[in-house]
């Protein structure tokens, strides 16, 4: 019998790609999502790719009773991947309580149910934002976390602490927190991808919408950073590579290959890429011009961050495989295909 995994936030950007990889690797999936930042049609898209429509329950994980009732019905869950969270950095500065409420309560409800219903394995979506602007690059998992630059970032640090403390108190529970760097791109089928609501804040959706003519021009936020071309540097990882890291993490937990019952991994490519390099790579791989202009730095942005991925490469036997050109081409194919979709 297939092992069953609960994927919270499974209709979202990273969640939907992970559901595809899980199903392609023989797992049964049940998604819980309140559709606050995703569309139910994503389930049909997943079915088109994998041939299987995942089981789906629509409710809010901050609702303790509904979460408990869900666990009461699901008797055969082997593991949970917890993606569901609010994720817009700027919004979190304006509405900190909303972020603390959603991101902390959903995790605590889940972990209480894990204890009560004896679900032993958790993979959690953390972020490289926990490192702030590190003193040394690349960052390893031992690089000290910094005081968070936003309430959103702080929720990720607090959630990591919650998982660590709960695992310490319950040796039979096992947790893996994956610290994502910058996930971009879309599935090669162009049937699923990132669906930003309103004006995108993130670089790649803004860039692809600009090239598609939805936005006038891309602002490059600063060219006076202490980097080779002056623009800021990040570690951009193809969302499918990231999704595959989750399958590996689940297998590690289910096969008892974890070294301790609470582990943290950087999930990036290990390559630092500047905003101007992104534009060049996009133009090279798609043949499209990116209208852009240098503007002031964006408040709150760090200068540069990229991952040391040695621990993930060696322990998880996982490595990001896609090139930057392939990744950006997939983002463009998704943007183009969106025109043909009704959602
Ligand atoms: N995308 C990034 O750049 C990035 C980087 C680092 C970490 N992360 C983390 O990865 C996870 C997934 O990110 P994503 O980009 O796929 O975001 P997303 O918004 O596309 O997906 C999150 C999903 O969770 C759902 N959701 C939110 N709150 C919920 C709740 N209380 N109950 C039920 N469902 C709820 C939303 O409807 C959405 O479908 C998040 O935890 C995010 O913080 C994302
Ligand atoms: O229109 C834009 C948008 C972004 N950028 C630049 O592009 C880079 C990437 O910006 P994103 O907004 O795409 O990503 P961030 O690195 O700022 O933030 C992302 O990574 C963080 C971790 O560092 C958090 O996890 C956060 O949720 C996630 O959005 C930054 O240098 C930013 O200044 C531009 O030049 N123009």
Q: Which atom of ligand 2 is nearest to the CA of 220?
A: 35
Residue 186 has pLDDT above 80, yes or no: yes
Core vs surface per residue 245-268: b (16+ CB within 10 A) or e = bbbbbbbbbbeeebeebbbbbbbb
Length of the chain: 343
Q: Quick check: 196 pLDDT over 90?
A: no
- Structure token digits, residue 6: 């609960």
Judge contact between 286 and 332, C-beta under 8 A: yes
Match 């031992």 to its residue by tokens: 142
328 is a domain residue: no
Average pLDDT, whole number, for the chain?
A: 97
Provide the token pair at 333.
Answer: 């194919």
Q: What is the pLDDT of residue 197?
A: 85
Domain presence at residue 159: yes
Is the C-beta atom of 217 inside 6 A of ligand 2? no
Predicted pLDDT of residue 267: 98
Distance between CA 231 and CA 276 in Å, rounded? 6
Closest CA to 33 of 24, 25, 43, 23: 43
Among 108-112, 296-300, 329-333, the range scoring the smallest mean pLDDT is 296-300
Task: Note the pLDDT tens digit of each residue in 263-317.
Answer: 999 999 999 999 999 999 999 999 999 999 999 999 989 999 999 999 999 999 9
The CATH number linked to 32 is 3.40.50.720
295 located within any domain: no
For residue range 211-269, what is the model confidence (pLDDT) as tens digits? 999 999 999 999 999 999 999 999 999 999 999 999 999 999 999 999 999 999 999 99
152 counts as catalytic: yes
Record the tokens describing residue 49, joined without a space: 């790719």
Let me know if 100 is exposed, middle or buried by CB neighbors in 10 A (0-12, 13-18, 19+): middle
Ligand 2 touching residue 105 (CB < 6 A): no
Tokens 């609702």 belong to residue = 63
Is the predicted pLDDT of residue 343 greater than 80, yes or no?
Answer: no
Query: Could you list the residue range(s) of the whole structural domain that residue 108 is in?
Result: 4-184+236-268
CB atoms within 10 A of CB 322: 19
The predicted complex's ipTM stands at 0.98
Mean pLDDT to the nearest integer, 90-118: 97
Within a domain: 189: no
- Ligand 1 centroid – CA 229 distance (Å): 32
CA of 124 to the centre of ligand 1 (A): 11
- Dihedrals φ, ψ of 78, to 5°? -95, -30
Question: Which atom of ligand 2 approaches the CA of 131 most closely?
Answer: 23
pLDDT in tens, 15-61: 999 999 999 999 999 999 999 999 999 999 999 999 999 999 999 99
Q: Max alpha carbon distance in the chain (Å)?
A: 57
Q: What is the mean pLDDT of residues 330-334?
A: 98
Strands 77-82 and 4-8: parallel
Q: How many CB atoms lie within 10 A of CB 51?
A: 9
Query: How far does the centroid of ligand 1 lie from the alpha carbon of residue 202, in Å?
Result: 14
CB 241 within 8 A of CB 321: yes
Q: Which ligand is nearest to the CA of 86?
A: 1
- Asked whether 202 lines ligand 2 (CB < 6 A), one says yes
Global pTM reads 0.98
Q: Is residue 59 part of a domain?
A: yes
In angstroms, the CA 51 to CA 18 distance is: 15
- Per-residue pLDDT, 109: 98
Dihedrals phi, psi of 92, to nearest 5 degrees? -70, -25
Beta strand 77-82 pairing with 55-57: unpaired
Residue 14 CA: which ligand 1 atom is closest?
Answer: 16
The Cα 292–Cα 176 span in angstroms is 39
Residue at 196 is within a domain:
no
Give yes or no for a cis peptide into 138 (omega within 30° of 0). yes
Count of domains observed in the chain? 1
Whether residue 324 lies inside any domain: the answer is: no
Q: How far is the CA of 118 from the centre of ligand 1 (A)?
A: 25
Mean pLDDT of 72-100: 96
Domain membership flag for residue 292 = no
Structure tokens at 114: 């894990």
């Amino acid at each position: 019998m297939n092992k069953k995994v609960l994927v919270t936030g499974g209709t979202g950007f990273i969640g939907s790609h992970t559901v595809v990889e899980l199903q392609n690797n023989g797992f049964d999936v049940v998604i819980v999502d309140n559709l606050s930042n995703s569309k139910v049609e994503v389930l049909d898209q997943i079915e088109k790719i994998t041939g299987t429509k995942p089981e789906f329950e629509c409710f809010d994980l901050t609702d303790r009773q509904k979460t408990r009732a869900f666990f009461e019905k699901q008797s055969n869950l082997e593991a949970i991947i917890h993606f569901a969270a609010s994720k817009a950095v700027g919004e979190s500065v304006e509405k900190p309580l909303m972020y603390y409420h959603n991101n902390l309560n959903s995790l605590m409800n889940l972990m209480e149910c894990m204890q009560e219903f004896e679900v032993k394995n958790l993979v959690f979506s953390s972020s490289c934002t926990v490192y702030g602007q590190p003193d040394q690059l690349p960052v390893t998992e031992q690089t000290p976390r910094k005081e968070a630059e936003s309430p959103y970032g702080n929720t990720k640090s607090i959630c990591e602490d919650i998982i660590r403390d709960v695992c310490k108190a319950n040796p039979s529970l096992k947790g893996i927190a994956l610290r994502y760097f910058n996930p971009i791109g879309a599935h090669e089928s162009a049937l699923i991808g990132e669906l930003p609501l309103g004006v995108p804040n993130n670089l790649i959706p803004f860039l692809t919408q600009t090239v598609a003519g939805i936005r006038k021009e891309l602002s490059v936020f600063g060219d006076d950073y202490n980097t080779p071309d002056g623009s800021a540097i990040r570690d951009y990882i193809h969302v499918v590579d990231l999704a595959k890291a989750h399958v590996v993490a689940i297998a590690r937990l289910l096969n008892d290959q974890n070294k301790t019952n609470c582990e943290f991994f950087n999930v990036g490519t290990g390559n630092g890429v500047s905003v101007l390099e992104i534009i060049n790579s996009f133009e090279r791989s798609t043949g499209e011009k990116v209208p852009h202009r240098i503007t002031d730095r964006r408040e709150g942005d760090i200068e540069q961050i990229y991952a040391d991925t040695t621990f993930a490469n060696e322990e998880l036997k996982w490595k990001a495989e896609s090139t930057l050109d392939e990744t950006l081409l997939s983002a463009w194919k998704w943007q183009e295909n969106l025109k043909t979709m009704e959602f």
